[in-house]
Amino acid sequence: MGRGPRSPSLLVRLGISWLTNALVLALVAGVLHGVHVANAGDLLAAAAVFGVLNTLLKPLLRLVTLPLAILTLGIAWFFVSLLMLVITKAIVGGFDIHGFWTLVAATLIVWAANVALDFTPGPWQLTGRRRRLRRRRRHELT
């Protein structure tokens, strides 16, 4: 008896996350005139840095800023996301965002793209909480 389709390996999930980040950052660079990426290598480096920051640092910062997020009805977490782009820009030399309002717009585009991906079925949904929810639903159906 089979247990249904298996989840992709960790390396596959990391690869999908990396490429998804690269596509979202390429979208940001394509839409906003104040965002510049020197070349494909810098785009991939920015995607890797951005992914690592979102995986390791962002959850910690969200926990630390939880009281402020409650007071501001979540607006504080927007600035945590904005900070992830600022740090990525500081680390990756060929990835530049010029101006505060361009940074705000870039953060909004990244947020909107992630919301769209959350509602679009695909392999990018097989990580973390989404994977557990999918397993639970499969278990309830059997």
pLDDT at 128 over 60: no
Residue 11's pLDDT is what?
78
What pTM was computed for the model?
0.75
Mean pLDDT over 129-140 rounds to 69
Tokens, residue 50 = 């951005």
57-85 per-residue burial string, b: 16 or more CB within 10 A, e: under 16: ebeebeeebeeebeeeeeebbebbbbbbb
Where are the extended beta strands (E) located within 81-125? 95-97
Tokens, residue 115 = 């919301």
Residue 134's pLDDT is what?
66
pLDDT at 107 over 90: yes
8-32 per-position pLDDT tens digit: 677 777 788 888 899 999 999 999 9
Residue 31's pLDDT is what?
96
26-84 per-position pLDDT tens digit: 999 999 999 999 999 999 999 999 988 988 888 899 899 999 989 999 899 899 999 99
Mean pLDDT over 116-130 rounds to 67
Cα 139 to Cα 100: distance, rounded to the nearest angstrom: 47
For residues 107 and 99, the answer to whether their CB atoms sit within 8 Å is no
